[in-house]
Chain A
Amino acid sequence: MNEQRNTAAGTIPIISVRNVTAGYGDEIIIQDVSFDVFEGEIFSILGRSGCGKTTLFKVMTGLLEPVEGTVLIDGEEICCGESAQTGAVLKKVGVTFQSGALFTSMTLAENAAFPLRLHTRLPADTIEQIVRLKLSEVGLAGFEELLPAELSGGMQKRAALARAMALDPKILFFDEPSAGLDPVTSATLDETILKINKSLGTTMVIVTHELASILRTADRVIMLDREEKTIIAQGSPQELREKSDDPRVRDFFNRSASEPDLSLKR
């Protein structure tokens, strides 16, 4: 399955992360990280809690300015600030946040229509059709008029995905898509992600530590480490699980703890 999709994924880098060093204040979280994400692939950023996954995610989406290095999306450099927010780069990118971040005062339909109303001049009827289409793609047909508070966690995540997909972005970012979801809901979300990747060719960047979902969805992964502050392994998840000699990678994929947990000693 994964092999087959690997061939479908292109070999043109759509995201290039070049020598990125980032952190908060004086604290450096990731140091000199470089990698490429290719068009059409599902790319996962793995690692244990506190390894800088979310920091890297924020840098890649332009929410956090790196201390050094650049991120190119589709050949264009992203940076922080007002101009980038409205820039063309962000229209190529859809982001779903860990908590969903739906606007609580709007219905699902209004949430999904928000980016369309903001960035396109489509007539109201067309926007309505797109919203229906997007919500039915994520399995929420019939729930259009509910408020986010009236939904379960899994439905909120899917609604957030519908909103992120509204402008047909080339790249979708997910921050911990399965956090707080039960295994079945989480698997449904994985299937939705695979379906969208397959039918629309959308490049997906997923930040996660959910083993089952990594093995099911990801074409290629990188693994970050807290002590080294950089990438300690990359490749397909199957490869890493079976062939890696790095104990940290083996522990991650076997859900074991052979090393004493340094994070608790601090």
Chain B
Amino acid sequence: MISTNLPEENPNNTGTTSHSRAGSSADAELRLGPLGFALDIHEKTFDELSLVLRGRLWVENAEEVRGALMRAVEQEPLKNVVVDLSQIDYIDSSGAAVLMELYRKCRAMNNVLKLARAGPSVQRFLDLVDFDHFKDKPILRPRAAPPLLVQIGGGAERIYRTVQDIITFLGAASIALYEDLRHPRQVKWDPLWKLIERSGSDAVPIVAILSFLMGAILAFQAAIQLRKFGANIFVADLVSVSICLEMGPLLAAIIVAGRSGAAYAAHIGTMQVTEEVDALRLMGVDPIRFLVSPRIVAVGLALPCLTIFADIVGIFGGCVVSVFALDLTPITYFNQVGRVLEVSDVLKGLIKSFAYGVEIAAIGCLRGFQVRGGAESVGQATTSAVVTSVFVLTVTDAVFAMFYHYTRFL
């Protein structure tokens, strides 16, 4: 028997590997290694390599068995490889996979692999393996990116589809809202109140906290600058006007986009996946009128209310900072607010926030209807609903700013 240098090559190899010429009787002494397998290597005839596997061939030692087998085949470039399986006690899928890899390896080296003397249980297992099927391309590699031109084309097609979806959706939503206006008695008020409650009053605590902080932060930052000029009292101007015109509407809208816009996308998206939307359609219910127009009305009504609330709390937040950091009294602060803040400022903010509300609900619902497939698509739709809403809100804000300025509106 010739001992090999295999174990030194791979110190992790704790199975037993022995190497012997034909006629050796020493293999009987070999015991199984701690991994529960042994590989005896013989050269029977001049062109045949005989590998005798013993013990268990399973998931716990597959890596080591594989290494030992591969090295044995690589080191002896003989034409015929015979693997004797008669002493295998147990084999599982990873064992079969190792034999399959050995088969492919042998074929790549132009060798012939024969699996010999498998016991009945091992044979039953091997019968399930279709050795010749496995010549195909890899199946678990990430797919290669398609050529650039194909990607550009795919992107363009997606944009075209999205634009088409948006136009169709806007048309359908407008019709549904128009129908609701024409037949207000057909509108289901109970679900509408529920929606207003969910998107409006449930958001009051978070809107209160954030707008209070926003007012306080604005006042604090302004105070640092204005104190240098002894112009403390103008903090009230800055806080009240910027809260009512910009910060209040925008803050409330972003919160509602994150709460209700995302919720609508996920809700309608899941309904799309579970075919609930199709069920509605087949019951003669227009899904747009059933799902979308109440949501648009609900958020369109709820958001201005939240905005008024945010305005008041924000101005109050500014007051608290002014009293503590600027030695103003609440009375002087609110007198100044009353002097500088016009009703038109508040109204401008509220008109904007109505537009924001309509947009948030429409975008949430649109993204929901765009869901195709399963869970992943619902996640994407929800993300996209919030991101698109925030983008559209900002653009709308810019448009309103120019509109108010150039038309001298109100």
B contact residues, range = 20 to 34
| Minimum Cβ distance to chain B for residue A165 (Å) | 8
B119 at the binding interface (Cβ < 8 Å):
no
Within 118-162 of B, Cβ neighbours of A (below 8 Å) are at: 121, 124-125, 127-130, 133-134, 136, 138-140, 143
With most chain B CB atoms within 10 A of its CB, the pick from A104, A105, A130, A145 is A130
Contact across chains for B94 and A131 when beta carbons are under 8 A apart: no
Which of B62, B134, B140, B374 has a CB less than 8 Å from the CB of A110? B140
B63 at the interface (CB under 8 A from A): yes
The one of B93, B127, B374, B375 in contact with A130, judged by C-beta atoms closer than 8 angstroms, is B93
Q: Please tell me if the beta carbons of A129 and B134 are within 8 angstroms of each other in the complex.
A: yes
B140 and A131 within 8 A (CB) = yes
**Among the interface residues B93, B101, B375, which one has the most CB atoms of the partner chain A within 10 A?**
B93
Chain B residues whose CB sits within 8 angstroms of the CB of A195 once the complex forms: 128
Which of A41-49, A120-128, A180-188, A233-241 interfaces with chain B? Answer: A120-128
Give the residue name and chain of the A residue nearest to B97 (CB): A129
B124 touches A168 (CB 8 A): no
CB pair B92 A168 closer than 8 Å:
yes
CB-contact partner of B96 in A125, A133, A167, A198, under 8 A: A133
Could you say which residues of chain B place their CB within 8 Å of the CB of A126?
A: 62-63, 66, 94, 97-98, 101
Q: Which residues of A contact B92 (CB under 8 A)?
A: 168
Query: Which residues of B in the span 70-125 have a Cβ within 8 Å of any Cβ on A?
Result: 92-94, 96-98, 100-101, 121, 124-125
For residue A113, CB closer than 8 A to chain B, the reply is yes
Complex formed: what's the CA distance from A113 to B130 in Å? 19
Classify chain A: how many residues form its interface, as a range: 35 or more
**A161 interface residue, CB < 8 Å from B?**
no
A132 close to chain B: CB less than 8 A: yes
CA distance A199 to B91 in the complex (A): 12
Q: Tell me if A36 is interfacial: C-beta within 8 Å of chain B.
A: no
Which B residues touch A122, using CB under 8 A?
59, 62-63, 94
Residues of A within 8 A of B140 (CB): 109-110, 113, 124, 127-128, 131
A166 located at the interface, meaning its Cβ lies under 8 Å from any Cβ of chain B in the complex: yes
Q: How far is the CB of B55 from chain A (nearest CB, A)?
A: 17
Measured CB to CB, the closest approach of chain A to B235, in angstroms, equals: 52
Of B124, B136, B375, the contact of A104 (CB 8 Å cutoff)? B375
A149–B376 alpha-carbon span in the complex (Å): 12
- Given the interface contacts A131-B140, A200-B125, does A104 sit within 8 Å of B62 by beta carbon? no
Return chain A residues, CB-CB under 8 Å to B130: 136, 141
> Are B94 and A130 in contact, CB atoms less than 8 angstroms apart?
yes
Let me know if B62 and A132 touch, CB within 8 A.
no
**Residues of A189-213 contacting chain B, CB below 8 A:** 195, 198-201
**Residues B59 and A134 in contact, CB atoms below 8 Å apart:** no
CB distance from A136 to the nearest CB of B (A): 5
Contacts of A113 in B (CB 8 A): 140
Cβ-based interface call for B373 (8 A): yes
Count, A-B residue pairs, CB within 8 A: 90
Determine the residue in chain B with the shortest Cβ distance to A196: B128
Assembly CA distance A124 to B373 (angstroms): 29
Q: How far is the CA of A107 from the CA of B376 in the complex (A)?
A: 13
Complex: how many Å from CA A134 to CA B124? 15
The answer on a CB contact under 8 Å between B376 and A129 is no
Minimum CB–CB distance from B123 to chain A (whole Å) comes to: 9
| Complex CA distance for A110 and B139, rounded to whole angstroms | 9
Nearest-neighbour CB distance to chain A for B134, whole angstroms, equals: 6
A144 contacts partner chain B, Cβ-Cβ < 8 Å: yes
Residue of B nearest to A141 (CB): B133
A110 to B59, alpha carbons, bound, how many Å?
19
From A136, A148, A168, contact of B59 by CB (8 A): A168
A198 and B124: CB pair below 8 A?
Answer: yes
Contact residues in A for B129 (Cβ distance below 8 Å):
133, 136
A176 within 8 A of B: no
Alpha-carbon separation in the docked complex, A105 to B59 (Å):
27
Query: Which B residues are CB-close (under 8 A) to A166?
Result: 93
Q: Does A74 contact B (CB under 8 A)?
A: no
Cross-chain contact of B134 among A132, A137, A145, A167 (Cβ < 8 A): A132
Bound form: Cα–Cα A147–B377 in Å? 13
**Docked CA distance A149–B129 (Å):** 27
Binary interface encoding of chain B residues 37-74 relative to chain A, with 1 for a CB under 8 A from any of its CBs, else 0: 00000000000000000000011001100100000000
**A124-B140, A168-B93, A198-B124 known; A129-B374 Cβ under 8 A:** no
**What's the nearest-Cβ distance from chain B to residue A148, in Å?**
8
Question: Quick one: which of B94, B100, B373, B375 contacts A120, CB cutoff 8 A?
Answer: B94
Check if A121 sits within 8 Å of B139, measured CB to CB.
no
Q: Which A residues touch B124, using CB under 8 A?
A: 198-200
Bound Cα distance from A128 to B374, whole angstroms? 25
Q: Let me know if A129 and B101 touch, CB within 8 A.
A: yes
User: Complex formed: what's the CA distance from A105 to B379 in Å?
Assistant: 11
The chain B residue with its CB closest to the CB of A198 is B124
What residues of A have a CB within 8 angstroms of the CB of B128 in the complex?
Answer: 133, 136-137, 195, 199
**Closest A residue by C-beta to B273:** A104
Closest to A125 in B: B101
Interchain residue pairs with CB less than 8 A apart (21): A104-B376, A105-B374, A107-B139, A109-B140, A110-B140, A122-B59, A122-B62, A122-B94, A123-B66, A128-B140, A132-B139, A133-B96, A133-B100, A133-B129, A136-B128, A136-B130, A145-B143, A148-B374, A168-B94, A199-B127, A200-B125
Q: Which 4 A-B pairs have the closest CB atoms?
A: A104-B374, A129-B97, A105-B376, A144-B139
Interface residues of B (CB under 8 A from A): 58-59, 62-63, 66, 92-94, 96-98, 100-101, 121, 124-125, 127-130, 133-134, 136, 138-140, 143, 373-376
A-B contacts besides A127-B97, A199-B127, 10 pairs, CB < 8 Å: A104-B375, A110-B140, A120-B59, A122-B59, A122-B62, A124-B140, A126-B97, A136-B128, A149-B373, A168-B58
